[in-house]
Amino acid sequence: MSETKAALRIFSKNIHLDDGSLATGAVICVPGEPLKLDLDADAPSDIKLPDSAHIALGRFDPHVHFRETATPTREEVEEHGPADTDYETLVANIDAANKLYSIRSGCLSALKGGVCSVGAMGNTPWGPVGPYRHERIQKHYTEKALFPIIMWPRMEPGAAAIPGHEGKDFGSTFGGSGLTGQARRDMFELWRGQAVSYHNDQARGDETIAEFKDRIQPNEVLLHHEYFNGDTVLACQAETMQIAKEAGLSSLLARHIPTGPALQQILDARSEMPYALPAEIGLDYMYWNRERLLTQEHGVAMINYRRPAHPSREDQLALIELTRDTVRSGDDTIFFGTDHAPHAPASKKFKDGFPGAPGTRNIEHSLQFYGELMSNYGFTHHDIDRLASINPAKHMAKFFDFPYEVGTMADGAMANLAIFVPDAPYTVDEKNLATWLEDPNYHSAMKGESGLRGQSLFTVSNGRVWDVQNRPKTLN
| Coil, helix or strand at residue 336 | strand
294: pLDDT strictly greater than 70: yes
Which secondary-structure segment (H or E) carries 213?
A: helix 209-216
Give the list of residues 6+ apart from residue 143 with CB closer than 8 angstroms, or none.
none
Quick one: the chain helix, strand, coil %, rounded to 5? Answer: 35, 20, 45
- Provide mean pLDDT across the span 312-337: 98
- Provide mean pLDDT across the span 313-337: 98
407: pLDDT strictly greater than 70: yes
pLDDT band at 299 (very low <50, low <70, confident <90, very high): low
Structure confidence at residue 177 (pLDDT): 58
101 assigned to some structural domain: yes
Q: Among 27-36, 120-129, 175-184, 204-213, which stretch is predicted with the lowest mean pLDDT?
A: 175-184
Structure confidence at residue 178 (pLDDT): 66
141: pLDDT strictly greater than 50: yes
Integer Cα distance of 454 and 372 in angstroms: 9
If one counts the domains in the chain, the total is 1
Tell me the Ramachandran region of residue 148: left when phi exceeds 0, alpha when psi lies from -120 to 50, beta otherwise.
Answer: beta
pLDDT digits (tens, 9 = 90+) for 194-224: 999 999 888 888 888 899 999 999 888 888 8
116: pLDDT strictly greater than 70: yes
Q: Over pLDDT 90: what percentage of the chain?
A: 80
**Parallel, antiparallel, or unpaired for β 54-57 and 47-48?**
unpaired
176: pLDDT strictly greater than 60: no
390 assigned to some structural domain: yes
Are 234 and 316 contacting, i.e. CB atoms less than 8 angstroms apart? Answer: no
Alpha helix positions (H), 329-379: 345-348, 366-377
298: pLDDT strictly greater than 70: no
207 assigned to some structural domain: yes
pLDDT digits (tens, 9 = 90+) for 448-462: 899 999 999 999 999
| Coil, helix or strand at residue 327 | helix
Task: Report the candidate in 467, 415, 473, 472 with the shortest Cα–Cα distance to residue 29.
Answer: 415
Give the list of residues 6+ apart from residue 420 with CB closer than 8 angstroms, or none.
53, 54, 56, 114, 367, 454, 455, 456, 457
Structure confidence at residue 2 (pLDDT): 45
419 assigned to some structural domain: no
408 assigned to some structural domain: no
**Residue 149 structural domain:** 58-403
Q: Among 5-9, 37-41, 91-95, 191-195, which stretch is predicted with the lowest mean pLDDT?
A: 5-9
Nearest-10 crossing angle of helices 182-189, 230-247: 50
Integer Cα distance of 285 and 200 in angstroms: 14
302: pLDDT strictly greater than 90: no
pLDDT band at 244 (very low <50, low <70, confident <90, very high): very high
Instruction: Name the maximum alpha-carbon separation found in the chain.
Output: 69
pTM for the whole structure: 0.96
pLDDT digits (tens, 9 = 90+) for 356-395: 888 889 999 999 999 999 999 999 999 999 999 999 999 9
What are the φ/ψ torsions at residue 475 (nearest 5 degrees)? -115, -10
What are the φ/ψ torsions at residue 438 (nearest 5 degrees)? 55, 50
pLDDT digits (tens, 9 = 90+) for 46-68: 999 999 999 999 999 999 999 89
Structure confidence at residue 215 (pLDDT): 95
The CATH number covering residue 252 comes to 3.20.20.140
315 assigned to some structural domain: yes
349 assigned to some structural domain: yes
DSSP state of 389: I
- Provide mean pLDDT across the span 406-435: 97
Residue type, 142: T
13 assigned to some structural domain: no
pLDDT digits (tens, 9 = 90+) for 255-289: 999 999 999 999 999 999 999 999 999 999 999 99
- Provide mean pLDDT across the span 304-312: 82
DSSP state of 456: E
- Provide mean pLDDT across the span 397-410: 98
